[in-house]
Amino acid sequence: MARIGGIGIALAAAIGLAAGFHAAAALASPESQQTGEGFVDIVAWPGYIERGDSDPNYDWVTGFEKRTGCRVRVKTASTSDEMVALMNEGGFDVATVSGDASLRLIAGKRVKPVDIAKIPLWDTVDDRLKNAPWHTVDGVHYGVPYQWGTNVLMYNTEVFETPPDSWRVVFEPMSFPDGKPNKGRIQAFDGAMYIADAALYLKFAKPELGIADAYELDEKQYAAALDLLRQQRKIVSRYWHDAFIQIDDFVNEGVVASSSWPFMVNLLVRQGKPIASTVPKEGATGWADTTMVHVDAPHPICAQHWLEHSLDPKLQGDLASYFGSVPAVPAACENNALLGKDGCKTNGIDNFDTVHFWRTPRSQCGDQRTCVPYYRWVTDYIAVLGGR
């Protein structure tokens, strides 16, 4: 998943009564009253599970551990392929999975169905996410929505006094407003789903290709996307997948523009760096993440505790503030000190219908065309990174 922006929510005292009601509801389920196994092992995107180490204001782990007795252990994954590989290996209880990986885990029988009747806060979930096709198959739910957001363009405001209006700044050789070329000062995401970003740009840059869906590409459209990525390789300084390395590159290595996640943008802004993000005129890809439970979870009771906790409105809001995402629980947008009254609007809650959410490419397109499947995306993107 590529991402960008600002995220967070903390329930203010004004809604203490409502928070108390939600906590009581969460404790009402039989699973919530069971003693856990002592640990819950989570595979998560960077910044998704915080205990206050980076910033004491952002901690949705400590209280959970005290209440449940389940110690949270986190393994971060930088790409969806890495997350799938870790879940295939086993030994983990829960994962925060993006839409380009969730169906693969369901098809591989690595995650188990979720009984939403046993999730007390299910009714608070955004109706647009409840039955989303990336976690619901034949009416069966395989997870609980967590957060969603947009992969935005991060840029240095000292180089771009006006926000760049097109992804062209990272795909085409050009000079930036400071008169210097973009070669060596841009980055691209180290993941096969980035092919969709190239396709989305070409949808507008080369309308004659007839690209309607960035995840449904026929051979001609797909070849054009690969050609663009091969051209881009000549100007890319690094293909990033580690959030903190990208942060360092923007601070110390002269990188001034790249696709990114809101997480990195927020951290740099909080550090007082000249950084901002934007969604160019072509739109952007995005992610909608689901909390899923491994079919062989070593700590199933603690996994259930976390699944229920994941929808807590304070967690949802604080995470949205920290990461720059949008809560899966709309009520989390209200009365949150960290997120602020306009936080969800800033993070794009009104853009749901325009985000091109990650989806695993299949050989059969929705319009009955034959399209290029995901395994080809993986193989060919590796070749692009290798200069082929």
Q: Does 115 score more than 70 pLDDT?
A: yes
pLDDT, tens digit, 9 for 90 and up, residues 344-378? 988 889 889 889 999 889 898 888 899 999 999 99
Q: What is the pLDDT of residue 31?
A: 52
Average pLDDT, the chain: 90
> Residues of the chain with pLDDT > 70: what percent?
91
Q: Contact 104/360 with Cβ under 8 angstroms?
A: yes
Q: Does 163 score more than 70 pLDDT?
A: yes
Q: In this structure, which long-range contacts are made by residues 125-133, counting pairs with CB atoms below 8 Å and at least 24 apart in sequence?
A: 125/311, 125/328, 125/329, 126/327, 126/328, 126/329, 126/330, 128/352, 129/288, 129/328, 132/99, 132/288, 132/290
Confidence of residue 32 (pLDDT cuts 50, 70, 90): low
pTM: 0.81
Q: Contact 146/291 with Cβ under 8 angstroms?
A: yes
3-state secondary structure of 236: strand
3-state secondary structure of 380: helix
Q: Roughly what angle, to the nearest 10 degrees, separates helices 262-270 and 243-252?
A: 50
Structural domains in the chain, CATH included, are 13-147+288-340 (3.40.190.10), 152-283+358-385 (3.40.190.10)
